Structure 1
Amino acid sequence: MRNADGRQLDLFGPTEDPAASPGTGRPAPHPMHEPPARQRVAPAHRRPDATPPPQPPSALPQGARWLTLELEDGGVLGYVLRRARRKTIGLHIRDAGLAIQAPAWATRAQIEDAIRHKATWIRNKLQDRDRRLEQLALQAGQWRPGGRIPYLGIAIELRLDGARPARYDGDPAAPAEGDRLFLPLPDTADTGRVQERAQAWLQARARIDFEARLQRCLDLSGRSIAGWGLSSAQGRWGSCSSQGRIRLNWRLIHFAPALIDYVVAHEIAHLKEMNHGPAFWREVERLCPDFRAARDTLRRQPPDTLPLI
């Protein structure tokens, strides 16, 4: 999206990064030693079905320590602590888990206070991390005969069918569980060729599907566009220029129709309001009444985290 002077607008607008600067404040001057963490009474018994304690990563960065912290609800967070030349305590979620960078002046008690303050954010990000790693683990088996890929929110199965044209076993406008996509490739085709052909079919379907959704939303809005096209942007799901040209990320074709409809409505709303103010969101709601759930889902799933790219 672009505003009136032609600058590009992100699909969701600027968002605050709660890990960038947790803000703990400086302690009393000149702490010479790191005091032990504040004492807590451990629960007498742990439920048999409780989550197992976190395990340290296989390797730690030079100078880093593995520590754990028991939270008020009985849960335990593990984290890697590394001292760094910085002014605040930084919290980051890596593939290996929670990583803390703290200045030399920060005591362990202060670090743990920062973790407690961001505990909900940390858990949400760790869950997102777990889902992403699970997706990536499955990716290796997707681009082969029998592999499954998401299409309009449904997992469809890939099959190879020699030199015959690509064909879809089912209704491509309304996919259902059990549908299969046959690609014109021999059984000996490598994963790269399978991925290339499957994505070509997905992009062709995206053009057909998005065109219909755009037209329905334009009819509802009473506006027109200068044109539209597919994008492969790594950081946004859609854009609308001040000249009225819309671009939609073709990878939206992986998602359920309600999410695509929201992105379409979001971009068409920019034809009326080239900002993310209250009037803009009212227009989005008029075009897509249930937009909030879709917006929240896509905020948790930026394009660069999709395994199918």
Structure 2
Amino acid sequence: MAKAEQLSLFDDGTVPVARPATLPPGCRWHEVDTPYQRIGFLLRTSRRKTIGLTVNDDGLVVTAPSWVRYGQVADAVRAKAPWIVRKLRALHIRQQHLATADARWHDGGRFPYLGIYVTLAIRPDAGTALYSGDPVRPAEHDTLTLPLQSDSSTERIRERVHTWLQQQARALFDARLQHFCQTAGVELKSWRLASPSARWGSCSSDRRIMLNWRLIHFPPHVVDYVVAHEVAHLRHMNHGPAFWKEVERLYPDFLQARLALKSHHPGSLPLL
């Protein structure tokens, strides 16, 4: 959605409709009038038995059996219009928050990693995913090379980046958890990565921590704040004065990171 991603919501809250500059392989562009607004979508056929609707960084994608008539597809879009418009509106807000209009899933495209936009290189002969710099300290002009065919779909490229980002998140978050647990003098029973839509992290009463892997998009000081926050819960299972005093002890600059994260809801992160 190269063109649509750069558009803002209209004053009445409707989502702008714009045909993508380039269509993913096997997809066609259609638009349908609904009681809520006109909805544009990518249509692809598959062997599935029912019509499926998803909203990702490409916008609304409808997957339908090859034998289904277009009128049935249009009716399905109209029937789900309230849900679709809500998801598309959230998508536009998410893209505006993190400037994902700059994210592109092709050779030469970019994606946010630890506060830096990393360039993608698609090389069939690469053999494995290769990062040109230090993945712990990314810098401008760093490149992630993926061993994919030059005609790989955006979904395939996004999936590989997703896998690589989770690998980096698992290693970095584990190291920071160990650091803050040692600083706090506490023991952690276990931790896991997840992708919740409503929280950056959590700590249960049985000393298990969950961290949202999409934190890997943010600069390291934001990651440290969230990790320190959850480790502080190993001492205080609340948000009282003693808890915030412990957060400050573990990470003195937490206020700056907290403010940086405050404007971003977990659901506002790019759909990778």
TM-score w.r.t. the length of structure 2 is 0.65
2:110 counterpart of 1:148: yes
Name the counterpart of 1:112: none
Larger Rg belongs to: 1
Counterparts of 1:204-243 in structure 2, within 5 Å, are: 204-243=167-206
Task: Please show how residues 82-121 of structure 1 align to structure 2 within 5 Å.
Answer: none
Per mean C-alpha deviation after superposition, the further-off stretch among 191-200 and 146-155 is 146-155
Q: Report if aligned partners of 2:94, 2:268 keep a CA contact under 8 Å in 1.
A: no
TM superposition shift of 1:303: 1.2
SS in 2 for 1:265: helix
Would the aligned equivalents of 1:152 and 1:256 in 2 still touch at CA under 8 Å? yes
Q: Residue by residue, what CA displacement relative to the aligned partner does 1:91-146 show, whole Å, maximum 9, x if unpaired?
A: xxx99x9xxxxxxxxxxxxxxxxxxxxxxxxxxxxxx959727735444xx11111
Contact 1:225 1:244 in 2 (8 A): yes
% identical aligned pairs: 50
Q: Partners of 1:173 and 1:56 in 2: how far apart?
A: 42
What is the Cα-based RMSD across aligned positions, in Å?
2.8
Task: State the distance in 2 between where 1:131 and 1:185 align.
Answer: 26
Q: Unpaired runs of 5+ in structure 2? A: 1-9, 15-34, 36-85
Higher helix share: 2
Q: Which residue of 1 aligns with 2:122?
A: 160
Q: What is the SS of the residue equivalent to 1:248?
A: strand
Residue 190 of structure 1 corresponds to 153
Deviation at 1:56, TM superposition (A): 5.5
Q: How many residues align?
A: 192
CA contact (8 A) 1:235 1:302 kept: yes
Counterpart selection for 1:247 from 210, 213, 217: 210
Is 1:135 paired with 2:135? Answer: no
Instruction: Measure the CA separation in 1 of the matches of 2:100 and 2:116.
Output: 18
Deviation at 1:296, TM superposition (A): 1.6
* Bigger relative contact order, structure 1 or 2 (CA pairs below 8 A, ≥6 apart): 1
Matching residue within 191, 198, 219 for 1:256: 219
Seen in structure 2, the aligned counterparts of structure 1 residues 56 and 283 have a Cα distance that, compared at 3 Å, is: closer
CA 1:220–1:130 in 2, change beyond 3 Å: closer, same or farther?
Answer: closer
Deviating above 2 A after TM superposition, structure 1's stretches of 4 or more consecutive aligned residues are 55-59, 128-131, 133-139
Q: Secondary structure at the match of 2:99?
A: helix
1:267 aligns with 2:206: no
Contact 1:135 1:307 in 2 (8 A): no
1:284 to 239, 243, 247: 247
